[in-house]
Structure 1
């Protein structure tokens, strides 16, 4: 497997190296550039390096060494540095009568070369310090993209001399310790709300399943902690976390993780990539670019657009969303860039190397000067994927860093007004440590109007521009501002976004989705999957008479008693109020039956009245027969009280009226029975039985039983009488209005 990876590395090499006619010319040129001045500001920039090959695994290189060119973004940093120096020298109000110079050293991630560049700045000579006499250093401060790893290499050396170091890299909270890093200042704004800004974007697009790709280091770990806390707080799940090394030698180990990373990202459409690299040649970043395609990438401004902007057939980073620090445009920078040529700055190695790479120049043999370049060439005429004239965050920071040193020098010179800073023909010299007191308290507005200060405690939290990179037509790499994020805005208004301007990876404006499980529609609830993240769940239907009227509901809600769930179980419907009405079939049948029996009983009563003088009627106890027939008629009519909408009156009359008339009917039957029994007893000797029969004593049973019934009704009505009630459970979708019996204890004896 290892030989295959090496072959892959060598195949990728032509995309990185320059194909010059004579690279030896470049190799002989100095890797540092110097412009003299009364005071010099040093700078460490990673611009290019040489790669030497002697053959690996039997693979013979085509040449002894390869020249790996500088990145456009880093080259823009260099131009911003030079532009700031020239702008200050033209400013009559800042450092008047003092000329600023610069001294650049190509910063290579090699321990001995880091120390060599540091010694040159400190001593002003290119030989071994204290061995030979040479020019004295006029360097007041050094500007560098200082990272935690680099600081461990050159920081202790510069701190020995209390040499001011101004970092224009991304703000690093780990470098704010003034005891551990007394000579270091950071010009970049804080990234306190970067995690919140990215999570706000996830919430805006409803991305709940997001992968994290973080470069190793203190800042990467701090960002990982911040973004995971924000994601947990807003219920956004982490699909995977991968820490990517920024060291080039880890290229092989990253390649071995290809299968793992590809498998994890197969079901993730959104990946947050946080880059904190000190090397523009981040090989691991290219590996990721080749292996993971067609995702939505959300990243910070450290992302190298020029690396991803090569003309790939399928550009995996098309449509990437970048959170860049908001800053105003620097007037005159584009004109300065357009005027830069190697013929204007013949001693500038960086301009010559960049020109030869981008404008097809060749080198003349005697003095390695450029020839046969593209006529009227200018870096401003290059397409955005080759060189973007709009200032990047790094270039803006280095521009402010130069101004910070200049303002500190200006304040120091104003304090020392007793004597002129320099005399005729003399070089102005001062110990660099004197600048610390002024750098620490410096606060100013740059020419664009933005406030700059180097005090970490007074530093403002940055606002962010949300940039979208378009790549249609292929390789265009057009940077478009599509939104902003401000931590100072009211809640709910911190982020503004123009969705219609965003070009996604497919070249359309259709919004991408990234979820572990599809949303549960109304009528369903989320059921967590055991052993998986909270964003991974199954959708379960709600139980009977429960609903969920929104998406991704955790629990179903039970409908109130007067409502019921519809068949989709997403809405509670009002139950229909119903009762035994005359219009219903049952109501009609019961009413007809009651009326029919009433008429039949009335006809029998009429027949009894008509034949009241006949012996049969008389023998059947005419009075009791009338009473029985009348009470039966009333009983049948009482059935009508149970039909129709119940009211308080009907609820009370239903049982009491029926109980009273039915008691009369039963009492009449009982009286008739007793009369018959007494009639048979009269035939036997005994005067007492006859007296009871003749006196009509059996008829007294009717008032006695009726009195008892009325007494029970009075007790019932006085304690817990019947009332109107509803039954919401017997029939689905209906509320039945019924008469509640009140006290069952009183109802049953009755």
Structure 2
């Protein structure tokens, strides 16, 4: 019965709703609120508005007539991770007793014009942005969570620093945001990618891939990772067939992407590394999915948002991809929590009714857009295909979990100190300014959280390790992410990379392990001759003289003494 249901939902063509269509999709809330004594701000995209033909709107110059609302199902796990962590902390009688955490999530649109709207509303507590004024009920705002892109976190950080509010970023680590003189109240939860270049090169050496392409975002982080890759690759005689730096402003309909993808598709490199976050390269990834590129091995730096853009057929482009993700502990409790989530247990969640209509044959009430009682029995997010929603906690969700726990422990320590020095007046709850949390946070982040693992600093043993996943799309539309190996730089030389080669599925155009070389190795009796103006991996094979023998590199004199 399970597989009958699974393959039934696989044929849903696209999770896109036109503004001119059903009104319930048009009225999606831009924020979600969960009540608590302390309100954490959360800012990341769960839905976006896009246009294909850019037909100007008659009244509003910032909108188009052909606007579409697109839901990001994979990012929705971030909201669930936040809910799960807060509930776990609020149930703990030994952590922040008599104080509850809540949150206010604001959807972040992919435009600089609107990126600060959510933080303004959170700071003011109002439905319109009145900066430096809060006429609503006084609230304690201890910290903010931002992600997943570096650009989103940087923009919001400039505002939060004015109020000295602690900010946690849960996307990929960015060394440029580690500048304490510029980002004084910002903490990056994600581990650094110190060993990513070494991990990728180890994979290249394992499969003898010496000719690879590289795609990175056109920003400071992309420039830094390009420098890191080149250094490690050159020392291991691996050559870059091409380097493409993709502007984050490109979308899947940009002429520039079409032109660049033609060059990428025609490249002799069969292996292509893509580094970036889900926002900066979203247009490229969507375009790859649309082209159904089944003759390249994509090597990705982490879990991508490929599923958000992919329908039943489009995910075929990523079958056989290899994904590097920072190792973290499995959270079985979170999977159990996901199985209990539905629109009836969390009526304040505006996204769950949309998902239930999409996947579980529900319908909306035309009067108030609430669900009718005609949904599929025992519906659960856990039943969805993994390429649409994976209940296993992702790397970014785990960063959210760690960030909220770090904040909770810091607040707890600050509360203990307040009680010792200045007991609550008239039995009132906590009273503090956000900047007062900062010294406690810096101490807490050097300690371990309850599971015994370091949150941010001193994590060399845990966070230097990568899990390697293989994206499976067989049977077509299944979209599973299977762990096939690990990379641990702390292991002895020669034992750092561990792969279950027999488990790896390759893109459909390959019947065996793909090769990615500029020139095939020379046969006995031939030597290498460098090709002028090309990389050292590219060479011609020319015959040795009659009195010479070859070792595939040079010809040696082979005459008798």
The residue aligned with 2:10 is none
CA contact (8 A) 2:278 2:305 kept: no
CA distance in 2, matches of 1:76, 1:206: 37
**Equivalent residue for 1:340?**
341
CA contact (8 A) 1:248 1:283 kept: yes
Indicate which of 204, 207, 212 corresponds to 2:206: 204
In structure 2, distance between residues paired with 1:50 and 1:360: 24
Identify the residue that residue 471 of structure 1 maps to in structure 2. 473
CA drift of 1:97 comes to 2.0
* Aligned equivalents of 1:458, 1:180: Cα separation in 2: 26
Given that 2:37 and 2:140 are in contact with CA atoms closer than 8 Å, whether structure 1 keeps it comes out as yes
Structure 2 counterpart of 1:322: 323
Instruction: Determine the structure 2 residue equivalent to 1:627.
Output: none
Report the equivalent of 1:557: 556
Distance (Å, rounded) in 1 between the aligned partners of 2:39 and 2:394: 24
Match of 2:453 in 1: 450
Deviations 1:55-94 (A, max 9, x none): 7399xxxx96655233222011111111011111112222
Look up the match of 2:32.
Answer: 33
1:352 aligns with 353
Name stretches of at least 5 consecutive residues in structure 2 with no aligned partner: 1-12, 58-63
Label 1:402 to 1:131 Cα distance change in 2 as closer, same or farther (>3 A).
closer
Q: Which residue of 2 aligns with 1:161?
A: 163
Aligned partner of 2:227 in structure 1 is 225
2:14 matches 1:15: yes
From the superposition, tell whether residues 347 and 457 of structure 1 become closer, same or farther in structure 2 (CA, over 3 Å).
closer
**SS of match in other structure, 2:402:** helix
Match of 1:138 among 136, 140, 162: 140
- The unaligned stretches of length 5 or more in structure 1 are 1-13, 565-727, 730-750
SS at the partner of 2:17?
A: coil
Aligned equivalent of 1:393, options 376, 395, 399: 395
Distance 1:188 1:148 in 2: 12
Give the number of the structure whose alpha-carbon radius of gyration is greater: 1
Q: TM-score when scaled to structure 1?
A: 0.67
| DSSP 3-state at the match of 1:406 | helix
Partner deviation per Cα, 1:366-416 (whole Å, 9 max, x = no partner):
222112332221000111112111111111111111111111111211222
Matches within 5 A, 1:494-513: 494-506=496-508, 510-513=512-515
Cα 1:296–1:90 shift into 2, 3 Å = same
Please state if 1:236 is matched with 2:235: no
In the alignment, which residue of structure 2 is the partner of 1:748?
Answer: none
1:47 matched to 2:19: no
Matches within 5 A, 1:282-321: 282-291=282-291, 292-307=293-308, 309-312=310-313, 315-321=316-322
Alpha-carbon displacement from aligned partner over 1:207-230 (angstroms, at most 9, x marks no partner): 111111212222222111111111
What's the TM-score once normalised by structure 2's chain length? 0.89
Q: C-alpha displacement at 1:122, in angstroms? A: 1.8
Kept in 1: contact 2:74–2:388 (CA 8 A): no
Deviations 1:649-680 (A, max 9, x none): xxxxxxxxxxxxxxxxxxxxxxxxxxxxxxxx
Kindly state the Cα deviation for residue 531 of structure 1 after the two structures are TM-superposed: 1.7
The answer to whether the 8 A contact 1:503-1:509 is kept is no
Aligned residues: 540
More contact order relative to length (CA 8 Å, sep ≥ 6):
2
8 Å CA contact 1:472, 1:507 repeated in 2: no
Cα drift, residue 148 of structure 1: 4.0
Contact 2:147 2:153 in 1 (8 A): no
Alignment of 1:621-660 (within 5 A): none
Deviations 1:677-716 (A, max 9, x none): xxxxxxxxxxxxxxxxxxxxxxxxxxxxxxxxxxxxxxxx
Q: Which residue of 2 aligns with 1:123?
A: 124
User: 1:163 aligns to what SS in structure 2?
Assistant: coil
Contact preservation (8 Å) 1:356, 1:362: yes
Q: When you count helix as a share of all residues, which structure comes out higher?
A: 1
Q: Answer yes or no: is the 8 Å Cα contact 1:189–1:460 preserved in 2.
A: no
CA distance in 2 between counterparts of 1:313 and 1:287 reads 10
Give deviations 1:566-615, integer Å, cap 9, x for gaps. xxxxxxxxxxxxxxxxxxxxxxxxxxxxxxxxxxxxxxxxxxxxxxxxxx
Whole-angstrom distance in 2 between the partners of 1:341 and 1:20: 25
Q: Give the equivalent residue in structure 1 for 2:94.
A: 93
How far did 1:314 drift?
Answer: 7.8
Distance 1:148 1:249, change over 3 A: same
- The change in CA–CA distance for 1:147 and 1:526 in structure 2 (over 3 A counts) is same
Asked whether the equivalents of residues 274 and 299 of structure 1 are also in contact (C-alpha less than 8 Å), the reply is yes
> How far is 1:146 from its partner?
5.8
Is the alpha carbon distance of 1:248 and 1:434 closer, same or farther for their aligned partners in structure 2, counting shifts above 3 Å? same
Residue 444 of structure 1 deviates from its aligned partner by 3.8
Aligned mates of 1:445, 1:131 — CA distance in 2:
38
Residue 412 of structure 1: aligned partner? 414
In the alignment, the residues of structure 2 paired with residue 184 and residue 378 of structure 1 have an alpha-carbon distance, to the nearest angstrom, of 36
The SS at the match of 1:364 is coil
Query: Residues 226 and 203 (structure 1 numbering): CA distance in 2 closer, same or farther, change over 3 Å?
Result: same
Residue 459 to residue 47, structure 1, CA distance change in 2 (3 Å) = farther
Query: Is the 8 Å Cα contact of residues 409 and 435 (structure 1) preserved in structure 2?
Result: yes
Q: 1:489-526, CA deviations, whole angstroms, 9 ceiling, x for partnerless residues? A: 11111101111110000287721101111111233221
Which sits farther off after the overlay, 150-159 or 201-210? 150-159
Are the counterparts in 1 of residues 326 and 463 from structure 2 also a CA contact under 8 Å?
Answer: no
Structure 1 pair 70/421, CA: closer, same or farther in 2 (3 Å)?
A: farther
